[in-house]
Amino acid sequence: MKRKPNVAVVGATGVVGTTFLKVLEERNFPFENLYLMASSRSAGKEVKFKGKTYIVEELTEHSFDKPIDIALFSAGGGTSAKFAPIAAAHGVTVVDNSSQWRMEKDVPLVVPEVNPQDISWNKGIIANPNCSTIQAMVALKPLQDKYGIKRVVYSTYQAVSGSGMKGIHDLKNGLAGDDSHLQAYAHPIAGNCLPHIDVFLDNGYTKEEMKMINETHKILGDDDIKVTATTVRVPVFDSHSESINVELEKPFALSDIVELFRNSPGIVVQDDVEHNVYPLARDAAGTDEVYIGRIRRDFSVDNGINIWVVADNIRKGAATNAVQIAEQLLESLPD
């Protein structure tokens, strides 16, 4: 590392933003100056970080006039659409957690365990993938490398923290018996499963489902993989759970796949059904690993497997993944 960067966190008061700070602190991310930015609603708010008090500033067109090297954005697509290019034009490298830039040709979409090499061709904006996609990629990459992937079927069970403070509000109030002022969802989430994440598109899929499909192609670098998805919001506060059905190109021994997962970066295998051991959302919460269990052959096709994949959607699915990208950027900081 050449020198310590000046770092900005945009959306510092949100669910992902506050976790950016937690993860930066835990991983002892080096920095010279730290700037916390949010909307005018939060301007002046005090935030403690590493024993020091920082004042949240309003994000404006002039926020990047000061020297900033790396900006971690999680303030919604509209904010990223407007401000990430302004930051990039000032020489800032933006790691953006919104969906705004993910499918742009000249924006790398990166999961550090999967395609770290793509970071090098960024032109000022690097996109952090969708939370559900990130954990799926960590699981699928070793399978792709060893066996090739023909087809993937995702069924997700996603936590309300993925909808930010509003989602947490709806579940908390719903559990307390009050569904009268829903902020995030079209229906009560307490005691429910909502097959509706993000908006519905003309093709009948939700935008979340299409994100998983399109981002899988981009990150694995193979548009020929057939992918479909059903994404569901469930009354869980933290961690997304996913059933992933994969049809591989080549035959396999199940024990080799378990071994492959055990030896792959970022993965913890939890698969001992005799003792009721399999990944659980509550256990994954607060951690950075991707947990895989229920590893079993899909007897209905040639070379098929089913896996159950769980990860903390705010940490590995958002903040930790972005900070891992930022850690790699440290190596290429100009003097």
Note the residues at the interface with ligand A2P (CB under 6 A): 11-15, 17, 38-39, 41-42, 59, 75-76, 79, 164-165
In the residue annotation, 131 being an active-site residue is answered as yes
SS3 call for 214? helix
Q: Are strands 149-158 and 240-248 parallel, antiparallel or unpaired?
A: antiparallel
Q: Angle, to 10 degrees, between the axis of helix 207-220 and the axis of helix 131-147?
A: 40
Residue 125 and residue 198 in contact, taking contact as beta carbons nearer than 8 Å? no
> Closest separation between CB of residue 58 and ligand A2P, Å?
7
Least distance (Å) from ligand A2P to the CB of residue 166? Answer: 6
* Angle subtended by helix axes 254-262 and 131-147, to nearest 10: 120
What's the min distance (Å) between Cβ of 128 and ligand A2P?
Answer: 14
Q: How far is the CB of 161 from ligand A2P (least distance, A)?
A: 8
Tokens representing residue 49 in the block: 């970080």
Distances in whole angstroms, Cα of residue 217 to Cα of each of 55, 182, 263: 41, 34, 24
Tell me the sheet residues that pair with 25. Answer: none
**193 in active site:** no
* R_g (Cα) of the chain, nearest Å: 20
Residues identified as active-site: 131, 240
